[in-house]
Chains A and B, each alone.
Chain A
Amino acid sequence: QKEVEQDPGPLSVPEGAIVSLNCTYSNSAFQYFMWYRQYSRKGPELLMYTYSSGNKEDGRFTAQVDKSSKYISLFIRDSQPSDSATYLCAMETGSYIPTFGRGTSLIVHP
């Protein structure tokens, strides 16, 4: 079993839909949780960063962490075609060396 599991997709949704992206993990030492967006042939861009359990909202994005279930989510409201990208979850123990999921490919069609 990998430390971080993430469905690669692709996930295809219509414009305006609410998107739910998820990761599960097995290492209970993970304390910091991140979501990155990666466009093709570009480096990952940090979207959300959370510490411990709870919700964090930033514009159309909401990150949710449930440490008891070892489950994190990223919600995108009012999705746009420009949101089409690969979304990577990442988590770390505080060592500054993140462990990444394999990424979920999201396609938002007009």
Chain B
Amino acid sequence: GAVVSQHPSWVICKSGTSVKIECRSLDFQATTMFWYRQFPKQSLMLMATSNEGSKATYEQGVEKDKFLINHASLTLSTLTVTSAHPEDSSFYICSASAQGAAFFGQGTRLTVV
């Protein structure tokens, strides 16, 4: 299957700082990538669809100014959580579609203290 790599796997940051999460498709090109947020024992919640070379499409209720998405190349999308607060602590996962199925990164555990 296709490989999606996400980095970092975990990060702890102070309240008010920004954190960048990278998502890379290693063996295929992804014109579209997806960012999810997952709370404990809950399913994946789609936050935004990242499109290469254009603006991301955000789901209702997701603050675009807080969760900045950049998809500058066919293999890299980044999610920046700006001015992070403790309520932003969560598990963030990216995915990209290849061969008709979605492939996920390893996820990033963000803890804001």
Contacts and interface: CB of A to CB of B under 8 A. Distances in A.
Interface size band for A: 20 to 34
B25 interface: no
A44 interface: yes
B97 to A, nearest CB: 4
Interface of B is mostly: strand
Contacts of A41: 91, 107, 109
A16 B93 CA distance: 32
Given A97-B46, A102-B43, A46 B109 contact: no
Interface residues of B, number: 24
Most chain A beta carbons < 10 A, residue from B93, B97, B101, B105: B101
Interface string B39-50: 001111010010
Nearest to A10: B41
Contact of B42 (A90, A98, A102): A102
Given A42-B107, A43-B6, A98 B91 contact: no
B104 interface: yes
A106 interface: no
Interface centre among B95, B102, B104 (most CB of A within 10 A): B102
Given A44-B93, A46-B102, A97-B46, 5 more contacts: A32-B100, A36-B104, A41-B91, A43-B104, A45-B104
In the complex, the 4 A-B pairs of residues with the closest C-beta atoms, listed nearest first: A43-B104, A102-B43, A96-B97, A43-B107
Interface of A: 8, 32, 34, 36, 41-46, 49, 51, 88, 90, 96-98, 100-103, 105
